């Protein structure tokens, strides 16, 4: 009686699987092609001669590449540390607490860098540092780039830390308080250890957005302050060799590795 | 009797004030950094947009509304009269058109993808999320260069088609409008899929089942139940694609080759070779106003809805 109608899979929709596969193909074909051609042994971009690591060797030995890599890591690491520390403090000050005066405004300010189009931030920061240099003679060298990166890294670090805090229940902290822990002890021994996964994913996000940034860095960077994305961009302005492919592939593989590792760590925690 | 009670209340109040002060102090470093190096620069370009351009870049400290006038008009060299010149307006309209087309195509591809992901078994779901997240966090410049390798005249597509003798002359795809929209689509597709997925993942399939019990077809269930329930995700995804797409800089720079400018490149140009900082600042602020208007509409819309419910 009840099975008079043929059973249908209520969740499936016709054609959706095909679109999903098309979507993945679209996202990955360019990346894969780029990585494959980085292993080409020939000197021409599109003429395949054989598999080799030749261009990776050329790229890694290039002094310009090395200095760009050094700059990139220096900027990203400083920006990540600063952004993660201040974002953690802000998350603690703004989550699960009684609303204080100006909290909404503070929250808006912290999220602002996510809402302003990147090119506007870029030209605004350029104008700002130019003004500082002209009127006050103030310039921080590569510190200019670090400060600019800190600004957009803070909201990225803030989001996962805040989410983690919001998910945490108060039971354990109340238990600590019941056992006569001071607020600081409760934070140090209970809240902070529970918060570490959130801080780790916040730091990972901050690092990756800083590491990959092109638009803002390009505007703010002075002469000699080349980062890896800027270096790749310079290389594409002249006759290209497979070296560009190799450097691009290194950058991509580094990001992918970084994301996969963060993903696996987060999964293991669950 | 009342005296100690009052002191207890006072102590509680003082403690509360102290903890609020402490929370304020904790948030201060973040707020300070962003205010100094994020908000202040926006005020600087607001001021710059009302100044005169210095001949070699930078500004002269003289008040002028030329930047805004230049946006719509051009001053005649001979008689100094203003003439309507829609060149910049045209670039703005084109950017908006490109961004809207990108958003619609992203939605058409992203919705089925997100729905398919959300209906996988939980174990498979997290792998799908990882697969969409990887391009989301990969270098945009490098990914755009990868598109260039594929679609240029000596690129993968043309090489394959020519080797198979389907075509004997390469099809020009690079530096066209098609290339820009393709690049935008490719850049921002994950921005659509992820919010859609997170709203579809929470979908209550009992309602879908109820629909089928009432003899709805698959198509009716999709349009009458699933899509209305996924609306917050759809709106969030569309905004996350639309806003960065309007201000896109890298994509038109690489795939448009300077022939098909979008707002982002136009602004960058004024600060680079154009050497007209006030004009660039004014253009940036006009873009900013458009983005803020879109966000404001969204916020008003979504809070208005909440009141209803």
- Please state the ipTM of this predicted complex: 0.88
Q: Does the pLDDT at position A2 exceed 60?
A: no
For B18, the closest chain A residue by CA position comes to A100
Homologous superfamily of B87-275 in CATH?
A: MetI-like (1.10.3720.10)
Q: Is the pLDDT of residue B31 over 60?
A: yes
Q: Do B39 and A109 touch (CB under 8 A)?
A: yes
Compute the mean pLDDT over every residue in chain A, rounded to the nearest whole number.
Answer: 88
The shortest CB-CB distance from B37 to any of A115, A117, A148 is to A148
Of the two residues B100 and A265, the one the predictor is more confident about is B100
Average pLDDT for chain B: 88
| Among candidates A20, A215, A248 on the partner chain, residue whose Cβ is nearest the Cβ of B116 | A20
Q: Which of B241, B248, B290 is nearest to B266 (CA)?
A: B248
CA distance A192 to B214: 52
pLDDT at position A45 is: 65
The single residue listed with the structure tokens 């270098």 is: B139
Q: Measuring CA to CA, how many Å separate A65 from each of A57, A235, A246, B287?
A: 11, 11, 11, 35
**No. of H helices and E strands in chain A?**
12, 0
Query: Looking at the partner chain, which of B44, B221, B295 has a beta carbon nearest the beta carbon of A115?
Result: B295
Q: How far is B81 from chain A (nearest CA, A)?
A: 30
- Write down the pLDDT at residue A208: 92
Of A19, A100, A148, the CB nearest to B20: A100
Mean predicted confidence (pLDDT) in B245-253? 92
Q: Using CA atoms, how far apart are residues B228 and B230, in angstroms rounded to an integer?
A: 5
- Work out the average pLDDT over B286-302: 84
User: Distance from B130 to chain A by nearest Cα, in Å?
Assistant: 7
pLDDT at A9: 78
Please tell me the distance in Å from B76's CA to the nearest CA on chain A.
29
The tokens for B161 are: 């088609």
CA of B296: which chain A residue's CA is closest?
A: A115
Task: Give residue for tokens 């899509």.
Answer: B227
Of A183-187, B213-217, B245-249, B289-293, the poorest mean pLDDT is in A183-187
Q: Which pLDDT band holds residue B309 (cuts at 50, 70, 90)?
A: very low
With pLDDT > 70 as the criterion, what percentage of chain B qualifies?
A: 95
Is A123 within 8 Å of B268 (Cβ atoms)?
Answer: yes
CA distances for B189 relative to A39, B101, B165, angstroms: 28, 12, 33
Residues B25, A102: Cα–Cα separation, whole Å: 12
Find chain A residues with C-beta within 8 A of B291's C-beta: 115-117
CATH architecture, domain A63-269: Orthogonal Bundle (1.10)
Span B171-185, pLDDT tens digits: 888 888 999 999 999
Evaluate whether A245 touches A38 at the Cβ level (below 8 Å).
Answer: yes
Backbone angles phi, psi at B59, to 5 degrees: -135, 160
- Residue A106 and residue A91 in contact, taking contact as beta carbons nearer than 8 Å: no
Q: What is the pLDDT of residues A220-265, one digit of tens each?
A: 998 889 999 999 999 888 877 788 889 999 999 998 998 898 888 8
Is the pLDDT score of B196 beyond 90? yes
Which residue blocks in A62-117 are alpha helix, DSSP H? 63-94, 103-115
Query: Which residue, among B270, B101, B251, B120, has the nearest Cα to B197 in the 3D structure?
Result: B120
Q: What is the pTM of this model?
A: 0.88
Size of interface A-B (CB pairs under 8 A): 268
Domain boundaries, chain A: 63-269
Contact between A24 and B131 under an 8 Å Cβ cutoff? The reply is yes
Are the beta carbons of A119 and B264 separated by less than 8 Å? yes
| Res B306 pLDDT > 60 | no
Average pLDDT over residues B199-210: 89
Higher pLDDT, B201 or B260: B201
Calculate mean pLDDT across residues B232-250: 91
Q: Cα separation of A215 and A118, whole Å?
A: 7
pLDDT digits (tens, 9 = 90+) for B39-97: 999 999 999 999 988 887 778 888 988 888 888 887 776 777 778 888 888 999 999 99
Residue-wise pLDDT for B137-153, tens only, equals: 889 999 999 998 888 88
**Which pLDDT tens digit goes with each residue over A161-207?**
999 898 887 788 888 888 888 888 888 888 889 899 899 989 999 99
């Amino acid at each position: 009686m009840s099975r008079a109608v043929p059973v249908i899979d209520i969740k499936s929709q016709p054609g959706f699987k095909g679109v999903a596969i098309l979507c993945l193909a679209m996202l990955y074909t360019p990346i894969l092609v780029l990585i494959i051609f980085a292993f080409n042994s020939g000197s021409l971009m599109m003429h395949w001669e054989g598999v080799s690591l030749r261009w990776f060797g050329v790229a890694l030995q290039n002094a310009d590449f090395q200095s760009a890599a050094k700059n990139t890591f220096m900027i990203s690491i400083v920006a990540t540390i600063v952004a993660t520390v201040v974002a953690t403090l802000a998350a603690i000050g703004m989550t699960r607490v009684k609303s204080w005066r100006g909290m909404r405004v503070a929250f808006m300010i912290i999220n602002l860098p996510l809402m302003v189009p990147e090119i506007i931030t870029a030209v605004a920061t350029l104008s700002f540092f130019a003004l500082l240099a002209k009127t006050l003679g103030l310039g921080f060298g590569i510190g200019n780039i670090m400060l600019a990166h800190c600004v957009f890294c803070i909201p990225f670090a803030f989001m996962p830390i805040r989410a983690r805090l919001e998910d945490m229940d108060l039971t354990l902290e109340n238990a600590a308080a019941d056992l006569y822990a001071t607020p600081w002890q409760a934070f140090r021994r209970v809240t902070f250890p529970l918060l570490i996964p959130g801080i780790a994913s916040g730091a990972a996000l901050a690092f990756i957005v800083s590491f990959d940034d092109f638009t803002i860095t390009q505007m703010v960077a002075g002469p000699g302050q080349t980062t890896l994305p800027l270096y790749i961009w310079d290389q594409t302005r002249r006759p290209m060799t497979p070296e560009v492919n190799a450097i691009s592939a290194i950058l991509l593989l580094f990001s992918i590795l970084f994301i996969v590792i963060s993903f696996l760590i987060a999964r293991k925690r669950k | 009797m009342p005296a100690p009670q009052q002191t207890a209340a006072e102590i509680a109040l003082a403690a509360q004030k102290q903890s609020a002060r402490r929370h304020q102090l904790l948030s201060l470093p973040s707020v300070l950094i962003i205010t100094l190096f994020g908000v202040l620069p926006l005020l600087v370009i607001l001021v710059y947009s009302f100044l005169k351009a210095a001949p070699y870049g930078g500004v002269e400290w003289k008040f002028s509304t030329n930047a805004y006038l230049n946006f719509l008009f051009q001053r005649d060299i001979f008689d100094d009269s203003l003439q309507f010149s829609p060149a910049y307006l045209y670039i703005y309209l084109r950017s908006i058109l490109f961004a809207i087309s990108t958003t619609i195509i992203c939605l058409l591809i992203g919705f089925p993808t997100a729905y398919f992901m959300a209906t996988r078994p939980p174990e498979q779901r997290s792998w799908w999320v990882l697969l969409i997240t990887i391009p989301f966090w990969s270098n945009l410049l490098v990914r755009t260069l990868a598109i260039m390798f594929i679609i240029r005249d000596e690129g993968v597509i043309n090489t394959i088609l020519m080797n198979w003798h389907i075509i004997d002359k390469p099809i020009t795809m690079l530096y066209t409008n098609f290339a820009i929209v393709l690049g935008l689509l490719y850049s921002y597709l994950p921005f659509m899929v992820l919010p859609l997925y997170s709203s579809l993942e929470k979908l209550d399939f009992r309602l879908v089942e109820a629909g089928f019990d009432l003899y709805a077809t698959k198509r009716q269930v999709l349009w009458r139940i699933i899509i209305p329930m996924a609306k917050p995700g759809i709106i969030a995804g569309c905004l996350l694609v639309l806003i960065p797409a309007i201000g896109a800089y890298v994509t038109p720079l690489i795939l448009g080759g300077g022939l098909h400018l979008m707002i982002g490149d136009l602004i960058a140009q004024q600060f680079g070779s154009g050497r007209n900082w006030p004009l660039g600042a004014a253009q940036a602020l006009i873009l900013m106003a458009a983005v803020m208007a879109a966000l404001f509409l969204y916020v008003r819309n979504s809070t208005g809805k909440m009141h209803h419910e």
